[in-house]
Chains A and B, each alone.
Chain A
């Protein structure tokens, strides 16, 4: 595998990054952001949707804040997994991502913005050529989706970022910066149900941090990850739950690794507001499971992955009560 050539830009401030992006957009040039590169670079080596320019966010100090209420997008997962300044749930969740070696480069921002995955797509160029490409990287052929054929509009590649589930369950807000300024939103609103678009980021816009309200420190949380091996493997399903002990209504659940976006499960919780015993927790977990759909594009079967959502959710809740 040979890395395709691209021009690497290395801004040292948010302002400079925005300016660089604006210039490239103005001159009609395509580009990608990169932070740790542990997702982007493997995809580039496979020649998947490569761009002539890459802007690295790794050198921006402003994006490396670390506290209970604010974590910069540029913070490495290896820092999170040992940090006592952040919420313990994030510390545990970070430690479950990829491998210790990868976590030394991987960032929180990159994890949130992780490209969606599919076993028709995360393949070498020769491989993809031999299936005559797919919709998400069609190389100008107008190829169809290989998972749900004959529709040609939607990509259902799976979002397999780990951190999103825990961030959702802790009620994180996400801050985006771009040529049109700054905006902030609940993290679950950041994602868009489309394996290609993935999230609300506009051209030139990037994630600069996630923040939490003060009450986050009162929350107790747990994250359950389904994977074949206890290292390397992406979540085949993941469920995080947190609450303020004693306050049933404070429960928040986030799931990941099933669909093209991670999900927040406020609606299911509302419908099972009285989740205070074994049976009701079981029912709530079942409801969470029913609310998600899995497709056949990762290593484990979709039927199984979906079924596990209930088990993981129940176990996460059981751990925190």
Chain B
């Protein structure tokens, strides 16, 4: 097929005459419409067509339902993000780039107090200032909103109380920034200062003035926002453990540190509709909240997502400043723009919760994990945000990848007078994961076994159910562990390096999309919908609400459509910015976009594909099952000369009906348990990762430098390996920040001392280790072409890998993050006191002599490897439920075969005294049970 086949029959395509002039072929429609300038069809790229459908792409994890849709066009290939160019050349419009005619500038008056009642606000001087056009206070928008329907506790501006320094009090719009800033000084606000609380540990005590009041559901008179209790499994297993690790952790709050500060522009257009421009991860929730707060039907609001300069979870709540801009614009009758200073970005926060976490791990004499006991007290700051979910995630996302004899979790989220915590990359899973993985290392040490072998001998297999009922499908954990072990030369380094040099392992487990859409019934409405529209020009317009926040969701959606239709990527145009045209979508959080939107897009593309094939059938006489789609052509599979161009088939299909329009939706299948909170952490698929990190620790200064990382992540199928590697490296950087230097520092007065990018220390390029990303493809049966998430899970393992490497280097096991030099130094000083040595250079790094259990674990791991391979390739389709490793029958409910098997979501009253700091939240009663109800 050397010259390739022409896109059009006859003399079609562009031809160049002898005199150099280009002439169009004799076609009904001119060739550029056939897509691209190349008039010749490219050969089928068999390297990117799976073996199961006759290609050469190996499928060690077995075949996939989407294999038959593969055309070798773009899936699995490294492609630049489709929106890269506008960003690189500076044409992309971010929040603050939007400029509308007649716009004025909005500024927000923020609380100087941590906690106070607002007694009065006098705006008369502000209003009198020349240049001021609109002023608003809480009284202008009394309705509450919040990202979760169960915890709507925010206002556009404070109503009765301010709850943290920086909380919104009022706002003003003026002709320019200078006037607006000046106007802020003219508000006269009278406050009555209340006692502020910054220590989350006090949050479970009764106070005079709880930060919020939840009526009959309020827990005592405390600041507890949410409490969780979960106990599953056979608790008798932890009664006499062979090894036991118990550690109390402290994690400081961290912020997303995205480049673009929040910005919003609001305009009420000439028809009276609100046009709101905002860099949002979840425009749909903003849409809903605006409608509630402004008292305007949703269809009268168009939310326009600008380019988003990084989100990482920090731009996924509907925000009060979005409401403020709309309120001011309505009052002013002019567009209003509000752009944050970096400090304001920290006031709105939504970063990772500062947490106190206690993790106890018990193992039995066979090196099985008898129990995880987790207690997590998380500091929610002043508002609920995503915290309801975070409270669950801190426990339940630790229930895999290891098979557990029992699981016990108590969690509490409390309000404090600090900027609100929320969702951040790796939402709710990161801190506990770090604690669990370090605990696993300690267990390995006590059992005198290699920590990787310990893990390999305790993994849940593919296609199984976890102890709390999550359905696991594909599972590349074993492969990830094996690959980083090999890549890092682990066996020659672990416990063998000189003092100051160390190597450590950590694993990760994360949701690939949350199983429940939080705003509607999952059994009725889809999580994601995608529309495809193709007119006569042949260009494919894809409408999706998926918010590209730099992670590449637009590219992923374009790729799968391109793949199914066998059209070059530049023929696919994704429209995802406006709520007027985008189908409703839950947005970019919980790593759901690739999984859900691409599945929806594939379904829509399949509909178009069928219409094209039917048209080609009519034209060629060959049945669709014998036709092949390849590079803008549809032809008989045994003779590429017999066929039609894409454009011809398209026009045939368009006869009588006009533009082709198709719709695809994704809804997750029914799954999970029925207990309270069963839906939290439930996902249609899960990602797995394993990292090995190498560190250098300066024993005298405590400075930790991570030098090398081998990072294996199971993303199911890398639709775009370039993106996946980028996500892995970026996750390493972000996680390293949390483990080495990033923290929100609240000083003794409760003020955030480092609300700027100099003192909030994000690692620079100098702190970046050499990262070797390793992609593991377990081919998820329900993922689009087998894909799962790669945006959040890869962050998890870097924290414990570094902490474990520090132990390997100097024999000190820290339990406070970040490992800033001063923190590390005081840990080292403590160790020196313990060992009674004066010079840290005399410390000894730990060594390992394998005990008797080592060969037992190795053998079990080998047996499980064979087991897992069969299950992955579905050669073995038997049931597997957590507990089988302990000899229980997966075909019989555990409760029926194990006496005392627990499955509880409330503590037994007699055991209340044993609970940890978060568990103590259960000592209090809800108001309704105390007789109070207001």
Listed in ascending order, the chain A residues whose CB lies under 8 Å from chain B are 1-2, 119, 123-124, 126-127, 129-131, 146, 226, 228-233, 299-301, 303-305, 307-308, 311
Inter-chain contact B701/A308, CB cutoff 8 Å: yes
Q: Which residues of B contact A127 (CB under 8 A)?
A: 343, 751, 755
Cβ 8 A contact of A230, one of B759, B766, B822: B766
Inter-chain contact B753/A2, CB cutoff 8 Å: no
Q: Which residues of B contact A124 (CB under 8 A)?
A: 341, 343, 755
Chain A interface SS verdict (over half): loop
Over the window 785-824 of chain B, the binary record of Cβ atoms lying under 8 Å from chain A Cβ atoms (1 yes, 0 no) is 0000000000000000000000000000000000011100
Other CB < 8 Å A-B pairs besides A119-B754, A130-B113, 19 of them? A2-B181, A119-B753, A123-B755, A124-B343, A124-B755, A130-B751, A131-B749, A228-B761, A229-B766, A229-B767, A230-B767, A231-B765, A231-B766, A232-B758, A299-B759, A300-B821, A300-B822, A301-B822, A307-B825
- The complex places the Cα of A253 from the Cα of B879 at a distance, in Å, of 72
Inter-chain contact A299/B700, CB cutoff 8 Å: no
Q: Which residues of B contact A231 (CB under 8 A)?
A: 764-766
Inter-chain contact B764/A232, CB cutoff 8 Å: yes
A242 to chain B minimum Cβ distance, whole angstroms, is: 22
Whether B826 is near chain A, meaning CB under 8 Å from some CB there, is yes
- The complex places the Cα of A229 from the Cα of B765 at a distance, in Å, of 9
- The complex places the Cα of A129 from the Cα of B741 at a distance, in Å, of 28
Q: Which residues of B contact A307 (CB under 8 A)?
A: 825
B37 to chain A minimum Cβ distance, whole angstroms, is: 41
- The complex places the Cα of A32 from the Cα of B826 at a distance, in Å, of 42
- The complex places the Cα of A305 from the Cα of B755 at a distance, in Å, of 22
Q: Which residues of A contact B101 (CB under 8 A)?
A: none
Inter-chain contact A131/B820, CB cutoff 8 Å: no
B198 to chain A minimum Cβ distance, whole angstroms, is: 14
- The complex places the Cα of A124 from the Cα of B755 at a distance, in Å, of 9
A301 to chain B minimum Cβ distance, whole angstroms, is: 4
Contacts A130-B751, A131-B751 given: A304-B341 contact, CB under 8 Å? no
What are the nearest 4 A-B pairs in CB distance?
A304-B822, A230-B766, A130-B112, A301-B822
Q: Which residues of A contact B759 (CB under 8 A)?
A: 119, 299
Whether B876 is near chain A, meaning CB under 8 Å from some CB there, is no
Whether B647 is near chain A, meaning CB under 8 Å from some CB there, is no
Whether B93 is near chain A, meaning CB under 8 Å from some CB there, is no
- The complex places the Cα of A299 from the Cα of B764 at a distance, in Å, of 17
Over the window 161-183 of chain B, the binary record of Cβ atoms lying under 8 Å from chain A Cβ atoms (1 yes, 0 no) is 00001000000000001100100
- The complex places the Cα of A21 from the Cα of B701 at a distance, in Å, of 46
Q: Please provide the chain B residues from 702 to 758 with a CB less than 8 Å away from any CB of chain A in the complex.
A: 702, 741, 745, 747, 749, 751, 753-755, 758
Inter-chain contact A300/B764, CB cutoff 8 Å: no
Q: Which residues of B contact A2 (CB under 8 A)?
A: 177-178, 181
B295 to chain A minimum Cβ distance, whole angstroms, is: 31
A239 to chain B minimum Cβ distance, whole angstroms, is: 12
Inter-chain contact B701/A126, CB cutoff 8 Å: no
Whether B62 is near chain A, meaning CB under 8 Å from some CB there, is no
Inter-chain contact B741/A228, CB cutoff 8 Å: yes
Q: Please provide the chain B residues from 107 to 136 with a CB less than 8 Å away from any CB of chain A in the complex.
A: 110, 112-113
Q: Which residues of B contact A299 (CB under 8 A)?
A: 745, 754, 759, 761, 820
Q: Which residues of A contact B753 (CB under 8 A)?
A: 119
Whether B763 is near chain A, meaning CB under 8 Å from some CB there, is yes
Q: Nearest CB to that of B343 among chain A residues?
A: A124
Q: Which residues of A contact B110 (CB under 8 A)?
A: 126
Q: Nearest CB to that of A126 among chain B residues?
A: B110
B839 to chain A minimum Cβ distance, whole angstroms, is: 9
- The complex places the Cα of A127 from the Cα of B113 at a distance, in Å, of 10
Interface size on B, residues (CB 8 A): 33
Q: Which residues of B contact A311 (CB under 8 A)?
A: 700-701
Q: Nearest CB to that of A299 among chain B residues?
A: B759
Q: Which residues of A contact B820 (CB under 8 A)?
A: 228, 299-300
Q: Nearest CB to that of A98 among chain B residues?
A: B758
Q: Nearest CB to that of A282 among chain B residues?
A: B839
Inter-chain contact A226/B112, CB cutoff 8 Å: no
Inter-chain contact A304/B825, CB cutoff 8 Å: yes
Cβ 8 A contact of A130, one of B165, B700, B761, B763: B165
Q: Which residues of B contact A230 (CB under 8 A)?
A: 764, 766-767
A58 to chain B minimum Cβ distance, whole angstroms, is: 23
- The complex places the Cα of A123 from the Cα of B759 at a distance, in Å, of 11
- The complex places the Cα of A300 from the Cα of B825 at a distance, in Å, of 11
- The complex places the Cα of A131 from the Cα of B766 at a distance, in Å, of 35
14 pairs of residues in contact across A and B, judged by CB atoms under 8 Å: A1-B341, A2-B177, A2-B181, A126-B343, A130-B112, A131-B751, A226-B701, A229-B761, A231-B764, A299-B754, A299-B759, A300-B820, A301-B822, A311-B701
Q: Which residues of B contact A301 (CB under 8 A)?
A: 822, 826
Q: Which residues of A contact B700 (CB under 8 A)?
A: 311
- The complex places the Cα of A229 from the Cα of B821 at a distance, in Å, of 10
Q: Nearest CB to that of B761 among chain A residues?
A: A228
A36 to chain B minimum Cβ distance, whole angstroms, is: 16
Q: Which residues of A contact B181 (CB under 8 A)?
A: 2
Q: Nearest CB to that of B755 among chain A residues?
A: A127
Q: Which residues of B contact A131 (CB under 8 A)?
A: 749, 751
- The complex places the Cα of A228 from the Cα of B165 at a distance, in Å, of 28
Q: Which of A129, A228, A230, A231 has the most CB of B within 10 A?
A: A228
Q: Which residues of A contact B764 (CB under 8 A)?
A: 229-232
Inter-chain contact A233/B341, CB cutoff 8 Å: no
Q: Which residues of A contact B741 (CB under 8 A)?
A: 228-229
Q: Nearest CB to that of A226 among chain B residues?
A: B701
- The complex places the Cα of A231 from the Cα of B767 at a distance, in Å, of 9
A304 to chain B minimum Cβ distance, whole angstroms, is: 4
Inter-chain contact A229/B763, CB cutoff 8 Å: yes
- The complex places the Cα of A233 from the Cα of B765 at a distance, in Å, of 13
Q: Which residues of B contact A129 (CB under 8 A)?
A: 112
- The complex places the Cα of A257 from the Cα of B110 at a distance, in Å, of 34
B816 to chain A minimum Cβ distance, whole angstroms, is: 13
Q: Which residues of A contact B754 (CB under 8 A)?
A: 119, 299
- The complex places the Cα of A130 from the Cα of B767 at a distance, in Å, of 34
Q: Please provide the chain B residues from 73 to 116 with a CB less than 8 Å away from any CB of chain A in the complex.
A: 110, 112-113
A3 to chain B minimum Cβ distance, whole angstroms, is: 10
- The complex places the Cα of A2 from the Cα of B339 at a distance, in Å, of 12
- The complex places the Cα of A226 from the Cα of B821 at a distance, in Å, of 9
B323 to chain A minimum Cβ distance, whole angstroms, is: 21
B162 to chain A minimum Cβ distance, whole angstroms, is: 11
Q: Nearest CB to that of A315 among chain B residues?
A: B700
- The complex places the Cα of A233 from the Cα of B760 at a distance, in Å, of 11
Q: Nearest CB to that of B176 among chain A residues?
A: A2
Over the window 762-781 of chain B, the binary record of Cβ atoms lying under 8 Å from chain A Cβ atoms (1 yes, 0 no) is 01111100000000000000
Q: Which residues of A contact B702 (CB under 8 A)?
A: 304
B706 to chain A minimum Cβ distance, whole angstroms, is: 13
Q: Nearest CB to that of A230 among chain B residues?
A: B766
Q: Please provide the chain B residues from 141 to 162 with a CB less than 8 Å away from any CB of chain A in the complex.
A: none
Q: Which of A124, A127, A129, A299 has the most CB of B within 10 A?
A: A299
Q: Nearest CB to that of A231 among chain B residues?
A: B764
Contacts A1-B341, A229-B761, A229-B764 given: A304-B749 contact, CB under 8 Å? no
- The complex places the Cα of A129 from the Cα of B754 at a distance, in Å, of 16
Cβ 8 A contact of B821, one of A130, A228, A303: A228
Inter-chain contact A119/B165, CB cutoff 8 Å: no
- The complex places the Cα of A81 from the Cα of B574 at a distance, in Å, of 49
Contacts A130-B165, A226-B701 given: A304-B766 contact, CB under 8 Å? no
Q: Which residues of A contact B767 (CB under 8 A)?
A: 229-230
Q: Nearest CB to that of B741 among chain A residues?
A: A228
Q: Nearest CB to that of A233 among chain B residues?
A: B761
Inter-chain contact A304/B343, CB cutoff 8 Å: no
Q: Which residues of B contact A119 (CB under 8 A)?
A: 747, 753-754, 759
- The complex places the Cα of A311 from the Cα of B751 at a distance, in Å, of 32
Q: Nearest CB to that of B824 among chain A residues?
A: A304
Q: Nearest CB to that of B702 among chain A residues?
A: A304
- The complex places the Cα of A228 from the Cα of B343 at a distance, in Å, of 21
- The complex places the Cα of A129 from the Cα of B112 at a distance, in Å, of 7
Q: Nearest CB to that of B840 among chain A residues?
A: A311
Q: Which residues of B contact A130 (CB under 8 A)?
A: 112-113, 165, 751
- The complex places the Cα of A229 from the Cα of B110 at a distance, in Å, of 32
